[in-house]
Amino acid sequence: MFRRISCKSLMLLALPLSTLVGAQDFKPVEMIVHPVSGNVSYIEGSGGNMGLFIGDDGVFLIDDQYAPLTGKIVAAIGKLTDKPVRFLINTHMHPDHTGGNENFGKLGATIFGHDNVRIQMALSDYAEEPPLVTFSEDIRFHINGDTVHVFKTPDAHTNGDSFIRFMAANVIHTGDVYRTTTYPYIDVANGGSFLGTIKALDLLIEVSDSKTRIIPGHGVVSNVAEVRAVRDMLLIIRDRVITSIAAGMTLEQTQKAGLTAEYDPRWASATRIGSPEELLRAAYADLSP
């Protein structure tokens, strides 16, 4: 979810990547495994929630947080199974979801992601290792007694977001298209879209039922009723921004008009990512004629 320092600026600074990532102290980070359904869990550490699916065919991992955390992640998985991480899928490109790619690749995992994850990581000059295998629409894994359907969402958080749906376990990992912590963050520079986020949540609602356990990119396990409430909030905000633009208001005026006031206590982040200002900026850009 973080904009990262480019390779070029890294070279200019002549510092190893670990030094800069190390500005965040990973030592106190603990990996907490939260069981979700059957053999599907999610791992909370620092960065995006990882999905974990274990079984006889091997470990299937969704996202891998930051490179310095790989050892802790491997140790947490090792308490549950002696099988290696065989498949790893990136829900999208951001470094708090892809930072461990290089490490897990060296440990033997094959890393998958949407075509745009790889393309956009190159365009944005990311230092992280991109997925090795990419797909344009969807891909299915037939492992550990379940079918895992990975499919591209409409451009939402970025232009390379996927949902990961465990068909028998009835669990969906949403990446950062959906989060329970703050407003959606829309990375417009990497192809994200406010209106696309609404469409992606529509799709999530469509493929879920009342029992589906939904693992967000950040936050805690959720359900379709909660997703619907977020989608409905975005529809209301959309309509208010349309009215604001029709009245000739600038972006700055729109951001100061209190359009999200009743939602801010629950959803506003204190930082730029997940803030109402950024949400309104993305909405304004999409809805401007």
Closest approach, Cβ 94 to Zn ion, in A, equals 4
In angstroms, give the least distance from the CB of 187 to Zn ion.
7
Q: Is the dihedral of CA 53, 58, 63, 66 positive or negative?
A: positive
Residues β-bridged to residue 112 = 89, 133
Collapse the DSSP code of 173 into the 3-class scheme (helix H, G, I; strand E, B; otherwise coil) and give the result: strand
Binding site for Zn ion (CB under 5 A): 1, 94, 176
Which tokens is 236 given?
A: 């209301």
Residues 6+ apart with CB under 8 A from 9: none
Considering the complex, state which of residue 67 and residue 169 has its C-beta at the smaller distance from Zn ion.
Answer: 67
Q: How far is the CB of 178 from Zn ion (least distance, A)?
A: 11
Nearer to Zn ion, 93 or 227 (CB): 93
Please report how close the Cβ of residue 1 comes to Zn ion at its closest, in angstroms.
4
Residue position matching structure tokens 């401007």: 288
Q: Element (H or E) spanning 86, and its range?
A: strand 85-89
- Based on CB atoms, which residue is closest to Zn ion, 47 or 68? 47
CB closer to Zn ion, 65 vs 254: 65
Q: Using CA atoms, how far apart are residues 177 and 156, in angstroms rounded to an integer?
A: 6
